[in-house]
Amino acid sequence: MRKTVIGILGLLCITLCYFTFVSAEKAFRSDWKLPQPTDAMQSQYRLVLITQELEMPFWKKVGEGAEKQAQQEGASLEVWGSYGNQEDFLKKIEIAIDTKVDGIIVQGLDTESFKNLTKVKAAFHGIPVITVANDVPMSESLRRTYVGSDQYQAGKMIANQLVQDMGTEGTVILLADAHQEYYQKQRVSGIQDVLKSYPNVRTEYAETPDTREQIIATTRDLMNRLPDVDAFIAVNADLAEAMLLEVGRRSQIEPYHIYSFDDGRESLRLMQQGKLDGMIEQSPEMMGQISVDMMLQWLRGETVPLDMNGYLTEIRMLKAMDAQ
Amino acid sequence: MNSIQKKIWTLATIVLFIMAAIWGALTYYNQKTQDQYNDILQRYLRMNEVTSASQHMIASLNNYLLAPTPDNLELLHASKSNIQRAKAEVSELQNVENAFAITSYTNLIDSLVETTDRSLLFQSEKDSEASSDAFDEATRISKYISEMTLTLLDTELKTYDQFYRGIIEQSQELKKTGVLLLLLITFLLLLFTYWFSLSITRPVQKLTLAAKELSRGRFDLQIEVNSNDEISFLAKMFDRMRVNINNLISEIQQKAQLEKELQENKLLLQESQLRSLQSQINPHFLFNTLDTLSKKAYLEGSEETSDLLVSVAGLLRYNLKRLDRSVTLYDEVKVMRQYIDIQRARFTERLRLYADIDDSCLHVQVPGLTLQPIVENAVIHAVEPMEEGGVIWFRIIDGGERVFVEIEDDGPGMTKEKIKQILEEHVVETEGHSTGIGFSNVVKRLRLFYGIDDVMDIQSDGERGTKVILKIPKTRGIDSYDKAPDRG
């Protein structure tokens, strides 16, 4: 009897002890992962990559490449940007300048306010600017260099592909947006330079405001005017989707030769659906990497000055059958 | 220090220690949590402070630009130092997660200050357009600061999300721990107190039981208390007391025994006195009658009968007189001879007595009537029943410190049981008749008289002959016998 009582009491005691200690351990343990305060970061270069279209796969890849490179080099990099809103985008640039980052890598925007920011304000604060993917001429933006595809070359490539697919005879519609951005001009001139040598190929260059309805309207108008059109090239990749929608509404898409670039929101999807016959594929990750690398080289004084003409990344033609 | 006191102190100290430990832990924990809360709040407050400081600065700048008075300038400078201080505080908040943002933030503040300075510079140079441009920029930067503050706060919330949840979980866990701890301590204390109180009360209980037993008169139970405090000391003392009482009681009992024996002796004495008194009834009449008879016998020519009557009268007188006083052996021998004379008248030739007496021993003191009953016994057992009579040898021998008186007969002897009975002073049923003073009476009186036990030997082979040896010391051990009242 006495032994049983002692046993029960002992068991009770041990159980209580156990639960108390487990509970106390939980209550007093403090393994919260608080961010470590740091001074080492002070010496790192602070870079900002600013783009207009944060959500786009193309720009995401650019960001990834840049971040990878920055991490390798021990620089801190943040990717800022807007979701297709120019005002926001410009504001971000201004904030970047005001926060005195060491370098700005930016998607070129061929507008006055952009140029004003880079040329005047960034230069005033002595902050180097590198344009990436979309260039703005050096003389207008005071950029240190450009990293990205040779857009002129890309235009030529797409035109060559077109001729190869369509033959040396036909009507081609070049659809660009109304901003007349530098990279688009380059692409157009590349295309036109190729097609010039084919007198039987008629090119129709059209510009459209970049709202969806207007793109559709412009496309409809163009097709009305040129019912015998054979090919479309969306110079601005963002226009491709709406354009295709209108084309598809009119007739089958298959007979048309439709080309675009990979830096549009829907480019990859359209390609996979087979709606595009060909697409220029650029190397966004390389762009990110090289731009960060160049920026750091410039900041460290390893390569001064940087190549004005830019560091070109690889481009290749992606045909519909490759994508499928 | 006393042991029980020490125990109580120990208990109190342990309880106090446990309480202090828990209190300490809780206080420490509380303090830690409080500090953490403060830190967190501080972060938010500091960031918010930057926003308000920047807005305040813009307001001051605006005021100054509108009305460039020294007062407003003073205010502007004040707000500038204010924002610098805020900036310094904010820069302390930097960590791995937000290093970039915080640096940007502080740089933005720098830009604000620079732009403000620029605006002031242009103002002093009367370039009001440039000044206003700079002011616009400053306003914009201030707006950016506000926005960035919100972004930073947002980031903070995300970064510290886990941390905040951890704090909440911990505080909930702490409640549980508190309850469990309370239970545990209560349980342990109850156990400990029970054990502790037992260690005090159990010896007391034992002691109480022992006292109860003692009060019931059981003094033979050992009191045993196994503890290491005063109770054990008390128990030891108690036990010693018990032993002492036990000893005293047994002593008293011994004394009582002695008293009882003494009482018995007294009774015996009184009985014999009574008997002697009874036997004194009108002895003189008897003596006178015997004398008359003796004279008459003499006158009638029967000299022998006359002598016999004289002997009887002497013997009777002696018998009545000497029973309770000491006499010399000589007197005893004389009386014994008178008795033999009387018996010889009866048994004539059948009774033969051979006496061998050392005269130098006749002066020793003996109680009266010691020899006569033994001789009488010999006559009764060895002579009377025998047709051819019997022989009695009577010797008094000097044995150094003692005088040996031997009475030997050639009768049928005595059984061992009888000898034992006699020597152990049991009342022996006498066969036939005697003068009334028995054998054992003699033994008793001799022992009382000399104060020693070894006074008589009886040798008999149980078939033939009995030899009674009286061993009489030449000097008496006690003399109380003499002091008995003389009733002669």
| Tens-digit pLDDT profile for residues A158-174 | 999 888 888 888 889 99
Instruction: With residue B167 as reference, give the H or E element that holds it.
Output: helix B161-215
CATH number of residue B389's parent domain: 3.30.565.10
Do residue A37 and residue B94 have CB atoms under 8 angstroms apart? yes
Domain annotation covers residue B152: yes
User: Mind telling me how many Å the CA of A62 is from chain B's nearest CA?
Assistant: 20
Q: Got the DSSP string for B93-120?
A: T--TTTHHHHHHHHHHHHHHHHHHHHHH
Domain annotation covers residue B175: no
| Banded pLDDT at B431 (limits 50, 70, 90) | low
The domains of chain A are located at 44-148+284-313, 151-282
Domain annotation covers residue B363: yes
User: Mind telling me how many Å the CA of B97 is from chain A's nearest CA?
Assistant: 6
Find the residue in B nearest to A75 (Cα): B100
Q: What is the rounded average pLDDT of the residues A118-129? A: 88
A interface residues, B as partner, C-beta within 8 Å: 9, 12-13, 16-17, 19-20, 23-24, 26-28, 30, 32-38, 41-42, 46, 76, 78, 91, 94-95, 98-101
Test mutation, B27, B102, B180, chain A, max A CBs within 10 A = B180
Cis geometry, peptide bond prior to residue B68 (ω within 30 degrees of 0): no
Domain annotation covers residue B244: no
**Above pLDDT 70, what percent of chain A?**
94
3-state class of A204 per DSSP?
Answer: strand
Q: What is the rounded average pLDDT of the residues A228-240? A: 88
Domain end residue (candidates: B159, B192, B221): B159
Question: What's residue B487's pLDDT?
Answer: 40
Test mutation, B144, B184, B195, chain A, max A CBs within 10 A = B184
- The domain A44-148+284-313: what is its CATH number? 3.40.50.2300
Domain annotation covers residue B146: yes
User: Mind telling me how many Å the CA of B245 is from chain A's nearest CA?
Assistant: 38
| Banded pLDDT at B477 (limits 50, 70, 90) | low
Q: Are A108 and A183 spatial neighbours (Cβ–Cβ below 8 Å)?
A: yes
Question: What's residue A230's pLDDT?
Answer: 87
Q: Got the DSSP string for A130-186?
A: EEESS---HHHH--SEEEEE-HHHHHHHHHHHHHHHH-S-EEEEEEEETT--HHHHH
Residue B188: its chain A contacts at CB < 8 A? 13
B interface residues, A as partner, C-beta within 8 Å: 25, 29, 32, 94-100, 103-105, 107-108, 110-111, 140-141, 144, 148, 159-160, 162-163, 166, 169-170, 173-174, 176-177, 180-181, 183-184, 187-188, 191
User: Mind telling me how many Å the CA of B237 is from chain A's nearest CA?
Assistant: 32
Residue B89: its chain A contacts at CB < 8 A? none
| Tens-digit pLDDT profile for residues B293-317 | 888 888 998 888 888 888 888 887 7
CATH number of residue B80's parent domain: 1.20.120.1730
Domain annotation covers residue B258: no
Of A26, A36, A98, the CB nearest to B144: A98
What are the percentages of helix, strand and coil residues in chain B, rounded to 5? 70, 10, 20
Listed residue (B278, B264, B383) closest to B320, CA to CA:
B278
Domain annotation covers residue B166: no
Which residues span the domain enclosing B398? 325-483
Beta bridge partners of B354: B393
Q: Are A278 and A262 spatial neighbours (Cβ–Cβ below 8 Å)?
A: no
Do residue B96 and residue A38 have CB atoms under 8 angstroms apart? yes
State which fold the A151-282 domain adopts. Answer: Rossmann fold (3.40.50)
Q: What is the rounded average pLDDT of the residues B84-94? A: 86
- Total of domains in chain B: 2
Test mutation, A76, A98, A120, A125, chain B, max B CBs within 10 A = A98
Residue B189 phi/psi, 5-degree rounding, is -65, -40
Q: What is the rounded average pLDDT of the residues A77-101? A: 88
Q: Which of A75-89, A306-320, B81-95, B214-228 has the lowest mean pLDDT?
A: B214-228
Domain end residue (candidates: B159, B194, B226): B159
3-state class of A258 per DSSP?
Answer: strand
Do residue B97 and residue A35 have CB atoms under 8 angstroms apart? yes
Residue A199 per-residue DSSP state: T
Of A17, A35, A100, the CB nearest to B184: A17
3-state class of A45 per DSSP?
Answer: coil
Q: Is B331 a residue whose pLDDT tops 80?
A: yes
Provide the pairing of β-strand B326-328 with B365-367.
Answer: antiparallel
Q: Got the DSSP string for B243-290?
A: HHHHHHHHHHHHHHHHHHHHHHHHHHHHHHHHHHHHHTSSHHHHHHHH
ipTM, 2 dp? 0.76
Do residue A27 and residue B176 have CB atoms under 8 angstroms apart? yes
Q: Is A248 a residue whose pLDDT tops 80?
A: yes
Q: What is the rounded average pLDDT of the residues A62-70? A: 92
Long-range contacts of A310-313 (CB under 8 A, 24+ apart): A310/A135, A310/A145, A310/A146, A310/A147, A310/A148, A311/A145, A311/A146, A311/A147, A312/A148, A312/A149, A312/A150, A312/A153, A313/A147, A313/A148, A313/A149, A313/A282, A313/A283, A313/A286, A313/A287
Of B111, B160, B187, the CB nearest to A100: B111
Q: Are B467 and B408 spatial neighbours (Cβ–Cβ below 8 Å)?
A: yes
Question: What's residue B483's pLDDT?
Answer: 45
| Banded pLDDT at B484 (limits 50, 70, 90) | very low
Residue B24: its chain A contacts at CB < 8 A? none
Listed residue (A170, A91, A5, A134) closest to B151, CA to CA:
A91
Residue B46 phi/psi, 5-degree rounding, is -65, -45
Do residue A78 and residue B100 have CB atoms under 8 angstroms apart? yes
**Above pLDDT 70, what percent of chain B?**
93
Question: What's residue B419's pLDDT?
Answer: 82
| Tens-digit pLDDT profile for residues B57-86 | 999 989 888 888 889 889 989 999 999 998
Torsion of CA B468, B472, B478, B482, to 10 degrees: 80
